[in-house]
Amino acid sequence: MSAARPPEGARSSERSEEVSTKPLLELHGVHTHIAAYHILHGVDLVVPQGQVTMLLGRNGAGKSTTLRTVMGLWHASQGSVVLGGKDITAFATPQIAGLGVAYVPENMGVFADLTVKENMLLAARSAKRAEQMDAARLQWIYKMFPAVEKFWNHPAGKLSGGQKQMLAVARAIVEPRELLIVDEPSKGLAPAIIDNMINAFAELKAQGVTILLVEQNLNFARRLGDTVAVMDNGRVVHAGRMDAFAADAQLQQSLLGLAI
């Protein structure tokens, strides 16, 4: 895959290692309640600027709730969410998106009855018509996700699961972003599509985009992640370098119940 440039436009465990890069996103003691349920129990998380942070954990650990809390879809009942030094804890989702944050949920959020073009246009807030979208940026996206160009005028609901995932990520980056948040990008994808997705995220990182990914595929996490945070029971129980975590099978087994 080409490396074309885009157009201009925890609370840690005792085994955690320090991260030298300054943080873009920080969560401090975040608690989140959903109706009567207390889901997050004091999440401390640091996402270094310009790096890929993997958020791992067993099912029900609170990973997706953490992402939704960052995006303001659910609001923290205690603690703070800080983006680029700005406290965004009480911000509404549109305000957070306006700060250069894009979010791809686990269900991808693709509008099945709209074409690929129409899905992309909805995300391009600076354009009212397809012709007004940044042509150079679209060409860059096509190089990473050829299916977006190939099925441009097709209903998104007719795409395969992998193609829908590509569309969801492409839509998130149709305009320049500071932070990309993606929930389980490799879920249900074939190995060849996973490789393509990894290459795309690596290219985005090379252009300075900070990325936070929830992932269950440990091999995907190992290949792409710079830092890792592991959640359990609504808390971050380990944070550190991904390479160190990938090399410690005993730690993986104790925290996740499986090893890379």
Domain edges within the chain: 10-100+177-260, 108-176
Secondary structure letter of residue 155 according to DSSP? B
Q: Please give the residue that has the higher pLDDT: either 5 or 75.
A: 75
The pLDDT value given to residue 9: 44
Task: pLDDT band for 53, please (50, 70, 90 cuts).
Answer: very high
Contact at 8 Å (CB) between 158 and 111? no
For 71-105, the DSSP string reads: TTSS--SEEEEEETTEE-TT--HHHHHHTTEEEE-
What mean pLDDT value characterizes the chain?
Answer: 90
The pLDDT value given to residue 7: 53
- Cα–Cα distances (Å) from 34 to 39, 66, 91, 97, 234, in that order, read 7, 12, 17, 22, 13
pLDDT at 246 over 90: yes
pLDDT at 44 over 70: yes
The pLDDT value given to residue 260: 61
Distance CA 68, CA 27 (A): 13
The pLDDT value given to residue 235: 97
The pLDDT value given to residue 11: 36
Q: 10-100+177-260 domain in CATH 3.40.50.300?
A: yes
Distance CA 164, CA 109 (A): 9
The pLDDT value given to residue 258: 74
Distance CA 156, CA 221 (A): 28
pLDDT at 18 over 50: no
pLDDT at 31 over 80: yes
Q: Over the stretch 86-126, which tens digit does the pLDDT of each residue have?
A: 999 999 999 999 999 999 998 888 999 999 999 999 998 88
pLDDT at 4 over 70: no
| Cβ neighbours for 124, distance < 8 A, ≥ 6 positions apart | 132, 133, 134, 174, 175
Q: Over the stretch 132-150, which tens digit does the pLDDT of each residue have?
A: 899 999 999 999 899 999 9
pLDDT at 82 over 60: yes
